[in-house]
Amino acid sequence: MVFGYLIERALNWGHINATLKEENKIQVVDVVREIDDDLDFKDRVVNMSLGFNYLVATTTTQCSIYNVVNWDSPAVFDVKEIVTLIVQGSKHFCLLDRSNGIMLYNYSGSLASNPKYSGLRIEFLNKRFITLGPDVISILDTSNPKIIRSFDISTGKATATNIEHALEISDIVLNQTENSNERKIAFLDINKDLFISPIHRPALVKISAMVDSFIWNEYNDTLACFADSKLVLWLFPNGVFVDKDLMEQAKLVKETRDLGKYPQMLCFTNSVIQYRRFDGVLAAINTLPHASKL
């Protein structure tokens, strides 16, 4: 029997890089503030996630939440089981383990809720099947991947309606706008068609085909995707529910080089999209900076 653990695992978000250097040490590099720091843990680091100005790391016994502005005083709480997955949103994050299921926390470490539904299979969930908005968590039903279930984060209760699609869904992402009335979800089906729909009033609209990857901006309601070796940017996705011609006028298409096959978007912060090519190389594309200002 052989036991092993992963080291040199690297996470990138904006101008920050976090690398698991040893089983209980994470090296953090902030290239803008010129910070190079080591975060030491008492136990082995099992899982880690970086995004939305926070680094969340779990060991075999604890969860630590670091604000990227101050690495010296993390919020820490105990965990009873090994955390198998961390998914972050702008105001909350969720931890998954096989005993407690999905546990939602705010970034101060307080438990918000523990949503559940009949037929939930934690072992089949991954980051493509769970997405968090400021007030809603959406989960792809692994027993029937044509259905997206949504829950209120503060109560853990299911929303009034589920989103149902004709084909199996492979990837889901919620937008991060503060206005809950404009909460939308974008999803990709097995035909690589990209759809968007309001969460509270489902109305599925196809907006692109031949999509490899897609992502919402972390700070505004801009949606981006790689489709047919092009970068497509929707500056006003809500327009599709008002007038499709209006949405087309607020769409930008940019020819891109060296994307390769199956490029995967990792984060969309301000006007910069970071993505990973099929060969593992990390790269970035700068979009129009004035869109977020407007």
Per-residue model confidence as pLDDT tens digits over 230-271: 999 999 898 888 888 888 888 999 988 778 788 999 999 988
Q: Using the CB atoms, write b or e for 208-227: b if 16+ within 10 Å.
A: beebbbbbbbbebbbbbbbb
Q: What is the pLDDT of residue 279?
A: 87
The two structure tokens encoding residue 196: 């968007």
For 73-124, write each residue's pLDDT tens digit: 999 999 999 999 999 999 999 999 999 999 999 999 999 999 999 888 899 9
Q: What is the spatial distance between Cα 41 and Cα 26, in angstroms, rounded to a whole number? A: 8
pTM of the model: 0.92
DSSP secondary structure letter of residue 159: P
For 30-45, write each residue's pLDDT tens digit: 999 888 999 999 999 9
Asked whether the beta carbons of 254 and 271 are under 8 A apart, the reply is no
